[in-house]
Structure 1
Amino acid sequence: MTTAISQSLTLAWRSLIPLKNSPGQLIGMLLQPVFMIVVFVYLFGGAAGGDRDGAVLYMLPGVLVQVALMATIGTGMNLATDIGNGVFDRFRTMPIARSAPLAGRVLADLLTLLVTVIMSLIVGYAVGFRVHTDPLSTLAGVGLVLLFAMALSWGSAWIGLIAKSVTSMQGISTAVLLPLTLGSSAFIPATDLPGWLTWWMGVNPVSHLAGAIRGLMVGGLRATDLWITFGWTAALLAVFTPLALRAYNRRVR
């Protein structure tokens, strides 16, 4: 077990090294939260209380969720690219755990996501967002969004391993994530929308994730949001981790 973890960490570092030779990718990753905050807070801010300060408090947790979930698409895309380039064929000939390349890819993307989340908080602070709870609760909020994203990354990994191409993988993931993120209460309170959409937001796991993060950072945490988020996280891990490992073993057999 210790050897497999060490190998996964080594391969995670291997996945991060190319970033230093791709400044455009790194800059794009850092600018993504800036664009999202400008769009959702400044352009659509009136939908969350009618003032910018209220919009920042309500929407920044939603931006963290949106950034995190959309970043999980990169896990499947990177896996599909590596398979197409024959990278995993070389790993197959090495004396390493079969799960190490897959776990290393997920861990590397999680670390880059952490940088993006931190950047989102910095930009949010610059436009007026302030934590109304305490530092420990804020760290718990960041940890929660990373935990959920990690669980969802295994689903993205599975799609990337069974997809015929990088383009098809990206299309499938986007088609799944957009209704979840934009059809949630991450940016707009459910009470402001029609009944059928209010129902969808109520059962949408992204709404509960955003609500839990908002409660941890701004206040008014509801235990329901927290437990539903943990439940969905456990379910995603239970379903997609074995599916991704099985698909990976088939692709590198």
Structure 2
Amino acid sequence: MMPLAQQGFTLAWRSLVPLKNSPGQLIGYVLQPVLMVAVFVYLFGGAAAGGDRHTAVLYALPGVLAQSALMATIATGVNLNTDLHNGVFDRFRSLPIARAAPLLGRVLADLCLLGVSVGMALLVGLVVGFRIGTGPVQVVVAVGLILAIAVALSWGSALLGLVSKTPAAMQVTATAVIMPLTLGSSAFLPIGSVPGWLQAWMRVNPASHLADAVRGLLVGHPYDSHLGVDILVTLGWVAVMLAVFVPLAVRAYRRRI
């Protein structure tokens, strides 16, 4: 039997191959960061940054990257639920693979698609004036944080997809969870610019720590004053989510099949 990691990559490739015949599925991953950059830089960014468009780009783009990571995880649960209803996992029962392999394959496939989304966001950011103010090590760490939080949250999305009755129900529930995390964070607005009651939520919101960490790693001063704390908190959330969601998702998968 192949190792679990090899099985996961094989099944991830199985999920990605059909995209060459239906590239329209990639449109959402390409357009979402473009629209977010346009909305938060050109519509709201100037006001949030005191009318300074360049400052708005520097502040908003890391927030777009963080939001893209969180929003992209919804697809994991939706795709898993769809595969369950289509009988895909019934065929996996006869294969000599680990029980967790189909889940790992789905997470890895969606991680590749997230890479497309993050790459597009960075490309659009460079076009509209975003410039990285740090070094290659910080950039690698920033991308690593984005991918790590996406992997951890994807397992939560997988769990939700396995216990939901329909793909639509899963998507509605996941969106109801993700939207308050992204919009109620410092991804697009400084904490000091919102009412006090919202500031309290933004300070404990894990999406705020992710956005602030990515911003500090990519832009540097003046957004790196609490960089170490933001990185540690983000990694802490990654560890907690993996410890909770992975075993629960595998258990839910065993019950469904």
Counterpart among 228, 237, 247 of residue 232 in structure 1: 237
Cα offsets for 1:41-73 (capped at 9, x unmatched): 100112134211000000100000111110000
Task: Write the mapping of 1:88-99 to structure 2, written as runs, cut at 5 A.
Answer: 88-99=89-100
Q: Note if 1:24 corresponds to 2:44.
A: no
* Contiguous gaps of at least 5 residues in structure 2: none
Contact between 2:209 and 2:231, CA under 8 Å: does it hold in 1? yes
Equivalent position of 2:164 in the other structure: 163
Contact between 1:48 and 1:187, CA under 8 Å: does it hold in 2? no
Structure 1 stretch 22-31 or stretch 100-109: which is displaced more?
22-31
Equivalent position of 1:192 in the other structure: 193
Q: Note if 1:125 corresponds to 2:130.
A: no
Whole-Å separation in 1 of the counterparts to 2:251 and 2:48: 44
Whole-Å separation in 2 of the counterparts to 1:90 and 1:120: 37
Q: Displaced runs of 4+ in structure 1, greater than 2 A?
A: none
- Look up the equivalent residue of 1:74 and give its one-letter code: A
Whole-Å separation in 1 of the counterparts to 2:120 and 2:136: 17
- Look up the equivalent residue of 1:212 and give its one-letter code: A
Equivalent position of 1:69 in the other structure: 70
Whole-Å separation in 2 of the counterparts to 1:3 and 1:166: 30
* Contiguous gaps of at least 5 residues in structure 1: none
- Look up the equivalent residue of 1:32 and give its one-letter code: Q
Task: Write the mapping of 1:173-212 to structure 2, written as runs, cut at 5 A.
Answer: 173-212=174-213
Structure 1 stretch 91-100 or stretch 180-189: which is displaced more?
91-100
3-state SS of paired residue (2:3): helix
Contact between 2:2 and 2:97, CA under 8 Å: does it hold in 1? no
Whole-Å separation in 2 of the counterparts to 1:87 and 1:28: 24
Equivalent position of 2:11 in the other structure: 11
TM-score by length of 2: 0.96
Cα offsets for 1:117-148 (capped at 9, x unmatched): 01110110000000000122112101111100
Equivalent position of 1:85 in the other structure: 86
Give the aligned CA root-mean-square deviation in angstroms: 1.1
Percent identical: 64
3-state SS of paired residue (1:209): helix
Cα offsets for 1:76-134 (capped at 9, x unmatched): 00000000000000001111111111100000100110111011101100000000001
TM-score by length of 1: 0.97
- Following superposition, the deviation at residue 29 of structure 1 comes to 1.7
